[in-house]
Amino acid sequence: MGDWNVFHLMPWSGAYAIYFFLIGISAAMFFFSALSWYRDEFVEVRRSAGYISFVLLAIGGVLLIEDLSQPMRFLNMINPAYLHFTSPLAWGSLCLVSFGLVSVAYLYTLQKGQDAGLGRKLAVFGALLGLGLPIYTGFDLTVHQNRPVWNTPLMPVLFVALSLLSAAAVAVFIAKGEKLRAMLRGIMLWSGGVVAAMLISLLGTTAYGGSASELTFMFMTSGSLGFIFVGLGIVLGTVVPIGVLLTSAGRQQGGMMLAGALLLVGGLALRYSILIGGQIVQTYF
């Protein structure tokens, strides 16, 4: 009673969660397109996955730049004289720009449709750069030592798994071949299982952390983020779709699309609640 403190804002708003979501799907969609050079099942989505990846990258890039308080200074992020490599954002900006350039070159090669060797090389190079996107976004959170939930080595791995999961959920809607759908079902099940296992670990380390971690756990499970994190993220967006995929309906196109839609809702909800969850307690300090 009678406490007074300055009202502190959360530095990173929910828009970052949308950015994480889009950039994660973009990276893994490029990976699926690249996979088509090595696995015949993916050939049918080579072009469409490549284009979806690029469009999502462009939207994510605009969101990221728009969120800067000085949007035109985004060029500082690629200025070699300014780059500060102790920050994951510096690595991320390089990765993002390189991935964008390789994506353009890759799509141009696909459009021309002549040089398969070059297309394959660009695909591999782009996929490796794309892998850097969820990894850097994870590190972006991990490095903040004072933030519960964020400051765990799980984050980069979790973001890679979420990236694969969400992109497979998108790919289900454009896949026509039976073999590809079976492959995507497998990816969703495996990456969904990995995400579920990591969420259990994350909840454990958060609940048994210090006082700030414990309070964050309370906010994320039974507090203001409870519905989004537990309801939408864990139950509706991870457990239910995995359950659907394991039933006979999960092998049909309709069931897989339902699971895909739920996984997309869950992917966004999980990213949002992890992003916001790490910031709630700090606003009271």
Partner 1 sequence: MSELRISSIETRGVPGKKRYAMVIDLRRCIGCDACMTACKAEFDVPLGVFRTWVPYKVIGKYPTVRKMFLPRLCNHCDDPPCVRACPVDATYKVDDGGFVLQRYDRCIGCKACMASCPYNARFMLPKHRTYTDITRVVDKCTFCHHRVTQNLVPACVQTCVGRSRIFGDLNDRTSEVSYLVSTLPTQVLRPEEGTKPHVFYIGADRGHTEIGRKIYDPQSVVELERETYLNKHS
| CB proximity list for 121: less than 8 A, separation 6 or greater | none
Q: What is the CA radius of gyration of the chain?
A: 20
Whole-number minimum distance, CB 280 to partner 1, in Å? 9
Whole-number minimum distance, CB 199 to partner 1, in Å? 21
| 193-231 as b/e: b if 16+ CB within 10 A | ebbeebbeebbebbeebeebbebbbbbbbeeebeebbbe
Whole-number minimum distance, CB 209 to partner 1, in Å? 11
User: Quick one: CA dihedral 63, 66, 72, 76, positive or negative?
Assistant: negative
Give the three-state DSSP class for 79: coil
Residue length of the chain: 285
Q: Does 66 bind partner 1 (CB under 8 A)?
A: no
Q: Does 176 bind partner 1 (CB under 8 A)?
A: no
Task: Please choose, out of 155-163, 216-224, 237-245, 259-267, the segment that lies near partner 1 by the rule CB under 8 A.
Answer: 216-224
The mark string for 217-256 relative to partner 1 (x by CB under 8 A, - otherwise) is -xx---x---------------------------------
Instruction: Kindly tell me which residue out of 96, 158, 228, 281 binds partner 1, with binding defined by CB under 8 A.
Output: 281
Nearest-angstrom CA–CA distance, 147 and 104: 37
The residues of the shown chain that bind partner 1, judged by CB under 8 A, are 1-6, 8-9, 11-12, 67-70, 73-74, 76-77, 79, 82-84, 86-87, 89-90, 92-93, 140, 143-147, 210-212, 215, 218-219, 223, 279, 281-285
